[in-house]
Structure 1
Amino acid sequence: MANDNPKSGDGLLVIHAALCRMGTMSLAEAYRTLGYKVHHGVDNPTKDPWVRIEEAAEATWPFVPGAKPRKPFTRADWDDLWGSHYDIITDLASPFALQLIEAYPQAKVVIVQRDFDSWWPSFQAELIHPTFSLFSEAVLFVAWYIMGVRAGQAMRKVHFGFFEATNRKEIDDNARDAYDRHYEKLREMVPSEKRLEFKLTDGWNPLCEFLEKDVPKVPFPHLNSRQEHMEGHLERVKKMFMDAAVKVGPWGLAIGVIAAAMRYAQG
């Protein structure tokens, strides 16, 4: 959980400004190799502070469906969520990069950007579709009502907020504008001397120079292909269903899944 093994220091040291499916797992491993304490969401998703992430989404984008009224997150809120526990957050924090830059003005910023036309089909297939599909209703039901995990609810609000949408179609319609606007604002907010424009093919040298670290004597990591990401997602869902079946019994789990499917069909 977020409060396990808290670190001391000045909050986030580096803000990794890259959206999911832009090499976040590779960079997470690279940062760890350089000695940073790193959070990468897929490492242990059932242990992530999903309730706080959902609150962050509601505070940042109050228009998202189902949002409760909240004050904007302060530095203390971001510290409670991530900054007091890690040096760098990769994937889960990426939609909040603009807010984190404001909260941690001393942090260096690493910007990674893929071409939209190559990035969006991967992001859409591996993050948007699994979050809003019919099957996801069963996953959300099991995750929250049986396992006590609000990952699906949190990520729906994050996606709605980042893409300034209130339904799935609007996410697709707004994707390119939201993407362009996000990266434009990043570069407006961060002076050139405090940011690194990085590509995974650049390897260690520019990253280490920017972060003032020695170059490791190991190859730069290249992890998590599209196939690996999908296989990992399916394995995590499978494990959650197996854990839930142990907790409530297979018949209880089956009834819950059917109820979730009926709720989805009824709108």
Structure 2
Amino acid sequence: MTLSVISAGFGRTGTMSLKLALEQLGLGPCHHMIEVIGNGAVQVPLWNDALAGKPDFCAIYDGYNSAVDWPSAAFWKELAEAYPDAKIILSTRSAESWYDSISETILATVWAPEKWPPQAVDWFRMVTKVLERSFGEAKDKDAIIAAFHAHEAAVKAAIPAERLLVHSAKDGWEPLCAFLGVPVPQTPYPRTNSKEEFFEHMKKADDL
């Protein structure tokens, strides 16, 4: 199995909804940070190797047909080159609403090391490095939003238009299915991973 769809969008841009959508369209299993949390003993060392410049994408994505969310989004350029036949999706939302969401969820947990459960420290350290890879030195709101805009501009500049779909969850099924060449489901587009759901997922990190 090889990756046929890769999302370059940062976390909190509708990535969990996109994961569920791709799996409903038959393009799963779809890799997402939730898989790293659920299989930390295998995934965290692999991502640490990738962050150290020694990625083994075959091992990371063994059994997966698509990938969204971090850590994948931090390696979008390498993945686009490693899987040249894969279609690229840039999941997105307004920068302001994205910052509001990420500051209350991911940043509120990852950037508070004094609250990390001891058994999840390795995962949190890895995620910290992933965020640094995506944001650089940005820490305040303006700098993080600037990093978000720079990331999206870089993706749009690097990926040919025919290979790229810029997609927001509010766009729903139609543009996604047209891009992937699959029929539009009769069910509503998935809407999930609210702030409350995020913290429910985070509880699983306590068991790493």
Q: Give the TM-score normalised by structure 2.
A: 0.87
2:47 to 46, 53, 56: 53
Write the mapping of 1:247-266 to structure 2, written as runs, cut at 5 A. Answer: none
Distance 1:198 1:159 in 2: 22
Do structure 1's residue 143 and structure 2's residue 123 form an aligned pair? no
Query: Runs of 4+ in structure 1 displaced over 4 angstroms?
Result: none
CA contact (8 A) 1:98 1:185 kept: no
Aligned position for 2:14 = 23
Query: Comparing 35-44 with 179-188, which one deviates more in the overlay?
Result: 35-44
Aligned position for 1:223 = 192
* Superposition CA RMSD, Å: 2.1
Shift in Å, 1:176: 2.5
Write the mapping of 1:53-202 to structure 2, written as runs, cut at 5 A. Answer: 53-59=47-53, 73=55, 77-82=56-61, 84-92=62-70, 93-137=72-116, 139=117, 141-143=118-120, 150-165=122-137, 170-172=138-140, 174-202=143-171
Distance 2:193 2:145 in 1: 24
Shift in Å, 1:16: 1.0
List alignment gaps of at least 5 residues for structure 1. Answer: 1-7, 60-70, 145-149, 244-267
SS of equivalent residue, structure 1 residue 15: strand
Q: 1:43 to 1:101 in 2, by over 3 A?
A: closer
Q: Give the TM-score normalised by structure 1.
A: 0.69
CA contact (8 A) 1:18 1:24 kept: yes
Distance 1:58 1:163 in 2: 17
Partner amino acid, structure 2, of 1:113: T
Shift in Å, 1:175: 1.4
SS of equivalent residue, structure 1 residue 35: coil
Shift in Å, 1:134: 4.4
Distance 2:173 2:139 in 1: 35
CA contact (8 A) 2:177 2:183 kept: yes
Distance 1:163 1:185 in 2: 13
Q: 1:132 to 1:106 in 2, by over 3 A?
A: same
SS of equivalent residue, structure 2 residue 193: coil
**Residues matched between the structures, number:** 203
CA contact (8 A) 2:13 2:168 kept: no
* Identity across the alignment (%): 29
Measured against aligned partners, the alpha-carbon deviations of 1:212-249 in whole angstroms (never above 9, x if no partner) come to 1112222211111122212432x3256x2xx9xxxxxx
SS of equivalent residue, structure 1 residue 171: coil
Distance 1:98 1:237 in 2: 27
CA contact (8 A) 2:110 2:124 kept: yes
Shift in Å, 1:43: 5.0
Q: Which has the larger radius of gyration?
A: 1
List alignment gaps of at least 5 residues for structure 2. Answer: none
